[in-house]
Structure 1
Amino acid sequence: MEYNHKDIEPRWQEQWKKEKIYQVTEDISKPKFYVLDMFPYPSGAGLHVGHPLGYIASDIYARYKHLKGFNVLHPMGFDAFGLPAEQYAIQTGQHPAETTKKNIARYKEQLGKIGFNYDWNREVITSNPQYYKWTQWTFIQLFHHWFDNNLQKARPVSELISVFSENGTTGVNAACTEEINFTANEWKNKTEKEQQEILLNYRLAYLADSYVNWCPELGTVLANDEVSNGVSVRGGYPVEQRKMKQWLLRVSAYANRLLNDLEKLEWTDSLKEIQRNWIGKSVGAELTFKIHTPTLSKGEDLGEVTVFTTRPDTIYGVSFMVLAPESELVNLLTSTEQQKEVDEYLKATKKRTERERLAEVKKVTGVFSGSYAIHPITGEKLPIWIADYVLAGYGTGAVMAVPAHDSRDFDFAKHFDLPILQVVSKKGETTTDTDTWQESYDSKEGIIINSPIINGLEVKKAMEKIINYFEEK
């Protein structure tokens, strides 16, 4: 028997619509279950094959949970704000409100034909004032709150002002941009402007200079997803990394809570690990290296650079250092001889987004600065390179490179023929010539070797001992 979908499906879909079988109401007698799809951008082209590819899977799961007795909330909406809507309006010469309304109607028609079990009474349209008033409300709440590390929650900025007025920064353990100290009298003697600048150091929504994907032709900042190979996805216009004053959200303050709450979820270990990596909390130590610049008179020391590392136990394996192209140290440490090469490299890296720099792990690029760092234990000179696999926003924007035990450092050292010094060995394994290695040994398990202060210790014990060494030094 032939299945006449053109006759059967519209008839039943109309029946479902009349009976409101997908409409959800509060029912405390049933367990709740929430299924949320990624909202599409309502373009003039309508749905593409990628939309139902994801929506079908979530639709099946929502139906399954419904049949298992759950009160399932499965809404749909449209991400209708931003650059795509603006550009579509410019291209068609129509007001974005009209094109968005028309495109949404088209999307809903197509989604309806497929027969998804959405509760359209709970539709979300991000360009609707009834929706975005809540995003604005959220921002205002973030601006007027700071994060108390002791209580692990946000508190009103008004309370922080009271603390500063009575005790200065004494006893304050807050998520902040930088650690600052002052007394109650010093706080009271500051101008209103100075006080507000200090409070920005603590607010959950704050102003700061950060690198962004700037597109001069579009006159706006682009998300990483809107840039590919140095040009905007929409229009193909050149995009560059530019430092600009931006509103930022201090979401990293919630890292501990996010990590702890992961354990309460009935997710697979692999999915939890992906989330841990996305949250991106790193535990380690900050180490200081003095800088040596031969081109200065008598090659004197020129200050120092601080690096953050999650592997202080590998300190003896450092054979070079790497700066992010955006680091303020680049201009300071570039020698006259290397200036032209460095300038050309910086120009090239401006065209790549941070996501591209992280994703393209096999694309090795870099340039020597002409300066050196002094190893804090051995006193050896370490060449300072500039490479785009280091990001300015991670740690201090400078890394101590340990190629034997870090894959990105390993690829970089192999490409530029830099020393690879093994300092961690698997238990019971005989050391081998690193020139024959095809990959680095990144594991945090093993025995420390070739490291006088911590030789023979397991990695965890070596970390503790070397951190104590630097703290006492």
Structure 2
Amino acid sequence: MEYNFNEIEKKWQQYWIDNKTYKVTINPEKPKFYVLDMFPYPSGAGLHVGHPLGYIASDIFSRYKRLNGFNVLHPMGYDAYGLPAEQYAIQTGQHPAITTENNIARYRGQMDKIGFSYDWDREVKTCEPDYYHWTQWAFIKMFEHYFDNDAKKALPITELVAHFEKNGTEGINPAQSEELVFTAKEWNSKSEKDKLITLLNYRLAYLADTMVNWCPALGTVLANDEVKDGVSLRGGHPVEQKLMRQWLLRVSAYADRLLEGLDTIDWSDSLKEIQRNWIGRSEGAEMVFKVKDSELEMKIFTTRADTIFGVTFMVLAPESELVQKLSKPGQLKEVEDYLEQTKKRTERERQTEVKKVSGVFTGSYAINPLSKEEIPIWVSDYVLSGYGTGAIMAVPAHDSRDFAFARAFNLPIPQVVVPKGQEPGDTSTWSDSIDSKEGTLINSGFLNGLSVPEAIEKTQQYISEKGIGKIKVNYRLRDAIFSRQRYWGEPFPVYYKDGIPYMLNEDELPLELPEVDKYLPTEKGEPPLARAKNWHTKEGYPLEVNTMPGFAGSSAYYLRYMDPKNNKELVSK
């Protein structure tokens, strides 16, 4: 007997829809089980082979758990904001909401034909106001909180203000962009505007100048994942590094909690190690190098303060504000040419492309705080502005990138650590740096003869006592850039008064995306939302013209699935 799949499958798929076969309701009699798929971005191409590859496996497991008596939550939705829909709108003039809805209809039809057992009553779309209402609400909450390092959690910013009013910064340990010190008297004497500016140093959602991947052709900031080989993945347009005023989320405050959390989850050891490396916790010392014939100083972070006698040059990140200040007139043209060149490479490319060695001498020298030797100050893109202080002390004998740089520019390479079981070597014959995690110090003044752990401890003690440094913990994890200069994204619930950001009241949410005449930047280079008419509060204050990034809406969808129709909170407790 021939299987008429067209007729049979269509019949039963319609039956499932009409009878809500896979609808899930609360049932305390059954154990709960949640099977979560990554929801797709609804592109014009429809599902690709990778979607059903994962979705079929999770659907099989969902059905298996149902047959074993579990009350299974297996929902689906759409990560509906994004750059592709906006680019299509620019090309055709068609509103991205229309193309997105058409694409979603196509995705839904394809998934229905495959026969997935989703509860479609729980469907979410990140571009719908009743969904991004709660994305905006979450942003307001982050703006209104700071992270207390001692309590290891976020607390209301009003509590921080109350502490400042009584004690200034004494006796409190908040996560902050820059370490500030002031008394209660100094705080209370500040103007209201100055207080609000100061609080941006502590808020979980804050405004700051930061380096971004800027694509002039697309008119927006791009994430590292959206850039490869100096061009955008979307369209292949040139991308450059640019300093811009952006919203950021202070995710770095949660670094230790993220590390601790890895011990409580059922992940493979290899995945956990990837996460640990991404967070990049390192214990070391922050040290101060004075600049020769100048009042300027350079702060560096190092995990190996014991190797300070092996420093033969300093390196600044191209984005460091010290670059312009330290570049001598005779070197300035060469430095500026180099800075222009490095703008074309993302931070990720600069980290991974270790074989590319480039740099330029500033003409200035730093003074080694222990040996008192003069050390040339260079600029190179292998140093990143967002990690540590944006400046490093280079120890070429014991760091591979420092070694490659020293070889390329003919700089000295003195050995200061002899590994166990070895003799001091001739560095001119080396093909790479040698490991210095274990061994004995040489050519290092008062540290000679000490083991590496002994030398680290003695150096840290010395720099602390002499006031030229302090022990510090550093992280590779950066705060997340949260602004995009696009139209098709969640509007920020933010308005400006005298240049200071304020949040809308929660009863004014959602702030819906306005209509614009074009999905392009304005003639002044402002984001597309600046084209909207009446884009201001009822009092006349201008609203934020940036939009949130795609990951804003895809960060809490797994929670919303559990309570998708709730109009009073993100999800009920």
Is the shorter-chain TM-score for this pair beyond 0.5, marking a shared fold?
yes
Q: Which residue of 2 aligns with 1:297?
A: none
In 2, distance between residues paired with 1:74 and 1:442?
51
* Pairing 1:70-85 to 2, within 5 Å after superposition: 71-85=71-85
Cα distance in 2, alignment partners of residues 146 and 247 from structure 1: 15
In 1, distance between residues paired with 2:13 and 2:307?
Answer: 64
Q: Does 1:426 align with 2:449?
A: no
Q: Which amino acid aligns with 2:427?
A: T
Separation (CA, whole Å) in 2 of partners of 1:156 and 1:173: 14
The within-5 A match list for 1:46-61 is: 46-56=46-56, 58-59=58-59
- Kindly provide the amino acid, as one letter, of the partner of residue 310 in structure 2: G
Per the alignment, residue 276 of structure 2 pairs with: 276
Please say which of residues 71-80 and 39-48 is displaced more in the overlay. Answer: 71-80
Give, in angstroms, the shift of residue 447 of structure 1.
3.9
Matches within 5 A, 1:138-153: 138-153=138-153
User: Aligned-pair distance for 1:308?
Assistant: 1.0
Aligned with 1:112: secondary structure? Answer: helix
Compared with structure 1, are the counterparts of its residues 217 and 452 closer, same or farther at alpha carbon in structure 2 (3 Å cutoff)?
A: same
* Structure 2 unmatched runs, 5+: 467-573
Please state whether the residue corresponding to 1:241 is helix, strand or coil. strand
Q: Residues 143-191 of structure 1: CA distance to partner in whole angstroms, max 9, x if unpaired?
A: 1111111111111111112112222222121111122222222222211
Superposed displacement of residue 239, structure 1 = 2.4
TM-score (norm 1): 0.89
The TM-score with structure 2 as length reference comes to 0.74
Q: 2-side partners of 1:141 and 1:205: how far apart?
A: 9
Paired position in structure 2 for 1:256: 256
| 1:463 aligned residue (456, 459, 477) | 456
Alpha carbons of structure 1 residues 273 and 70: separation in structure 2 relative to 1, 3 Å: farther
Amino acid corresponding to residue 125 of structure 1 in structure 2: K
Tell me, in whole angstroms, the C-alpha distance in 2 between the residues paired with 1:382 and 1:11.
Answer: 79
The 5-angstrom pairing of residues 432-443 of structure 1 reads 432-442=425-435
Which structure has more relative contact order (CA 8 Å, sep 6+)? It is 2
Rounded Cα–Cα distance in structure 2 between residues aligned with 1:366 and 1:465 = 33
Q: String of CA shifts for 1:368-394, please: whole Å, max 9, x gaps.
A: 222222222122222222111211111
Residue number in structure 2 paired with 1:389: 382
Cα distance change of structure 1 residues 181 and 435 upon mapping to structure 2, 3 Å threshold? same
SS, match of residue 429 in structure 1:
coil
Query: Does 1:451 pair with 2:444?
Result: yes
Structure 1 Cα separation of the partners of residues 3 and 356 of structure 2: 53
The structure-2 alpha-carbon separation of the partners of 1:7 and 1:203, relative to structure 1 and needing over 3 Å to count, comes to: same
Unaligned runs of 5+ in 1: 293-299
Partner of 1:295: none
Give the match for residue 469 of structure 2.
none
Q: How does 1:216-231 map to 2 (within 5 A)?
A: 216-231=216-231
CA distance in 2 between partners of 1:361 and 1:229 (Å): 14
The match for 1:296 is none
Q: 2:365 corresponds to which letter in structure 1?
A: Y
Instruction: Rate the CA distance shift 1:94–1:304 in 2: closer, same or farther, 3 A.
Output: same
Alignment-derived partner of residue 313 in structure 2: 320
What residue is the counterpart of 2:553 in the other structure? none
Q: 1:335 maps to which residue?
A: 328
Give the direction of change, closer, same or farther, for the CA distance of 1:115–1:320 in structure 2 (3 Å limit).
Answer: farther
1:347 corresponding residue in structure 2? 340
Shift of 1:70: 5.6
Question: Shift of residue 467 of structure 1?
Answer: 0.5
Find the aligned partners of 2:33 and 2:65 in 1 and give their Cα distance: 8
**1: CA distance, partners of 2:112 / 2:458:** 64
Aligned to 2:134: 134
Identify the residue that residue 371 of structure 1 maps to in structure 2. 364
| 1:74 shift after superposition | 3.7
Matched, 1:409 2:373: no
> 1:319 corresponds to which letter in structure 2?
T
1:148, 1:175 within 8 Å by CA — same for their partners in 2? Answer: yes
CA distance in 2, matches of 1:3, 1:459: 74
Query: Which secondary structure state, in structure 1, belongs to the residue aligned with residue 282 of structure 2?
Result: coil
* Cα RMSD after superposing both structures: 2.8
CA deviations on 1:202-236 (whole Å, 9 max, x unpaired) are 11111111111222333222222222333333233
The 5-angstrom pairing of residues 124-273 of structure 1 reads: 124-273=124-273
Change (3 A) 1:33 1:318: farther
Report the Cα distance in structure 1 between the residues aligned to 2:33 and 2:92, rounded to whole angstroms.
41
**How far apart, in 1, do the equivalents of 2:297 and 2:227 lie?**
35
Q: Structure 1 residues 186, 109: CA separation in 2 closer, same or farther (over 3 Å shift)?
A: same
Task: Map Cα deviations across residues 303-345 of structure 1 (whole Å, 9 max, x no partner).
Answer: 2201011222222222221111111111111122322221111
CA spacing shift, 1:92–1:457, aligned 2, 3 Å? same
Identity of aligned residues (%): 67
Does the aligned pair in 1 maintain the 2:418–2:436 contact within 8 Å?
no
Deviation of 1:463 (Å) = 1.9
Contact (CA 8 Å) 1:407, 1:442: kept in 2 or not? no
Bigger mean CA deviation after superposition, 63-72 or 101-110: 63-72
Structure 1 pair 194/450, CA: closer, same or farther in 2 (3 Å)? same
Shift of 1:469: 0.7
Alpha-carbon displacement from aligned partner over 1:85-139 (angstroms, at most 9, x marks no partner):
2111122321111110000111222233444444433323110112111111111
For residue 15 of structure 1, report the CA deviation from its aligned partner: 5.5
**TM-aligned CA distance change 1:302 to 1:180, over 3 Å:** closer
Deviation at residue 6 of structure 1 after TM alignment: 5.5
Aligned length: 466
Q: Shift of residue 29 of structure 1?
A: 5.6
In the alignment, the residues of structure 2 paired with residue 411 and residue 214 of structure 1 have an alpha-carbon distance, to the nearest angstrom, of: 29
**1:346-382 Cα distance to aligned partner (Å, 9 max, x none):** 1111112222222222222222222222222122222
Taking a change above 3 Å as real, the CA distance of residues 323 and 107 of structure 1, as seen in their structure-2 partners, is same
